[in-house]
Amino acid sequence: MDGQNWLAFMDRQMWIQQVQTANQRAEKFGLTLSEDDMELLLAEKRNVLKAERRVEFGESILPKIMDEFCDSSFLSQDNYAETLIRLQEIFYRYKNEMQDEITDDELIHFMKETFETICYGDFDYLEGTCLDIFAQAVRAGYRGYEETQGYREFEKFDIVQRWDRELYLETLRELCWR
């Protein structure tokens, strides 16, 4: 085995070990990856890294994504591998969009919280609206996420009026009393 093949082999082994460890933690939430799923995720990781012109050294981002999202109310065993593929793609795309100004953990926290509370599991809204708006702010120099570690950030930039129970009840009262 030459040096380049040995390095690729060791990288693959380290990645599999990291993902298997995260897989054990995700089992508590009824989510597991099969060996085939892991091979698919590894191939997709290589594809997205190449497409986004990125490299990954040391710890892979996938176990962090698995740990952060394993308790999501929008994940099930049926969509787990596909969801991880999509989250991995979104992560790398927005690391580039934010010009690496944001840490991996800050971005993952932002993605998870927004995915759960604003997007309600909608990847297109996460990627095309929430992360796009946030990336614009980061590129423009916003750094408030450093204090919050990426939590509770989108509400600062959200341009969509959200559900407000009190406003709804007030409007309902006004309509009923007319």
The pLDDT tens digits for 44-88 are 888 887 888 877 777 788 899 999 999 999 999 999 999 999 999
State the pLDDT at residue 71.
Answer: 94
Amino acid symbol at 64: K
State the pLDDT at residue 178.
Answer: 61
State the pLDDT at residue 70.
Answer: 93
Distances (CA, A) of 172 to 62, 156, 161, 175: 46, 28, 17, 5
End-to-end CA distance of the chain: 83
- Residue stretches of the chain with pLDDT short of 50: none
CB-CB contact of 93 with 50 (8 Å): no
Residue 92 CA to residue 101 CA, distance in Å, equals 13
DSSP type of residue 129? I
CB-CB contact of 36 with 19 (8 Å): no
